[in-house]
Amino acid sequence: MTPHTIYFVRHGETVWNTERRLQGSIDSPLTERGRAQALANAQTLIEAVPEITVLPFVVSPLGRARATLRIIRERIGLPDYGYQIDERLAEVRFGDWEGLTFKEIETRFSEQWAVRQTAKWAHMPPNGESFAQASERLKDWARDLRSDVVVVAHGAVGRILRGLNLGMPEEQIAFSGDPLHDRVYRLSRGTEVEL
């Protein structure tokens, strides 16, 4: 995917994560646990990445990722500026499903939900985007990398980046599961290490 190392951090837990609601392009605030996860991930970066203070940071434009990034940078001792916001790292857009619980989606959109369970990579929720479409913008982002980087983004974004790095078949990526909120993932030349 890229010759550079990506230190991937998923945003901290949000209120909607606890309610099992799809967020997509809508934001929900971090919980206390989510803020604690961000602090713990900052400590992991300090301990595991000696060059952490000189690496570039890039973040999704969405509020939950930016809130997590600010907590991480403050704990590391970095200012609340000097990082890049990249639209290509925004969460997969779930369209009309955003803000709904998984149970509500399954009830209101039963036929589409059933299709998604068998063809998740190509399936596009109403007014949303597919994993396949999101992967193209993430591949584009990765091609633009010029150095190792710390990324703070989202569950589906992490799922796609991790899968592309490991060379997984596309449909397998879609079903691989989101990265955890309380881990830093080092993605490097086809390998992955949880820090």
Instruction: Assess whether 11 carries a catalytic annotation.
Output: yes
Q: What is the rounded distance in angstroms from the CA atom of residue 72 to the CA atom of residue 57?
A: 10
Instruction: Assess whether 181 carries a catalytic annotation.
Output: no
Q: Which residues pair with 59 in a beta bridge?
A: 85, 152
Q: Using alpha carbons, list the distances in angstroms from residue 15 to 4, 30, 34, 35, 58.
A: 33, 6, 9, 12, 24
Among residues 13, 91, 98, 129, the one annotated as catalytic is 91
Sign of CA dihedral 73, 43, 31, 57: positive
Angle subtended by helix axes 63-76 and 32-48, to nearest 10: 50
Q: Which residues are catalytic?
A: 11, 91
